[in-house]
Amino acid sequence: MLCGFGLITVPSMFFHETELSGLFIIDPELIEDERGFFSCVFRADEFARIGLNGNLRQNNIAFNAHRGTLRGMHFQKQPYEQAKLTRCTRGAIYDVVIDLRPGSPTRYRWAGVELSSDNCRMLYIPQGFAHGYQTLTDNTEVFYQASEYYHPESAGGLKWNDPAFDIRWPLPVTVMNERDANYPLLESDKLHHREPER
């Protein structure tokens, strides 16, 4: 689970740094009126001001029909590592990351947070992390931005249920593609190359 170590406020966004350095939960400010609400969910200059990579070059969307669907744990190796900004625009997910950064005091530790269309939360994931998520509802849609373009030759993954990490997924897995199911355990191949699910 994630716990906030610090709070940074920028116009319309509240950044909560977690126990994994550089990993932030972001709560956008909702400006509400009789029509509903308006919110700023990304400003490159404000991300850069607090030291985050605001150069998000590629936007992706993933639709998941069934509750319990699991995607992950994906990463890209240097020099194509990706920082990501994830949000759930429909339904709800349990978003999970693993710190893979060499020399990091939290290397191989994981953290997870619920993102949903109701809570409007986002997760900023720095470069050097593996990322995946499990859907908590049917018909879930996830939108995420990445700082580097998808590069198949640098793509890799780690096994979602590797005992080295002991990730506590909230639901039994109902749907997973073959590639994600067959990623190796950490001990057998620490940074195995394999094309992740698109």
CA pair distance 108, 96, nearest whole angstrom: 12
CA pair distance 176, 70, nearest whole angstrom: 5
DSSP character for 69?
Answer: B
Check 16, 74, 124, 133 and give the catalytic one. Answer: 74
Check 80, 94, 133, 144 and give the catalytic one. Answer: 144
Buried-exposed string 16-55: b where 16+ CB fall within 10 A, e elsewhere: bbbebebbbbbbbbeeeeeeeeeeeebeeebbeeeebbbe
DSSP character for 12?
Answer: T
Has 74 been annotated as catalytic? yes
Residues designated catalytic: 74, 144
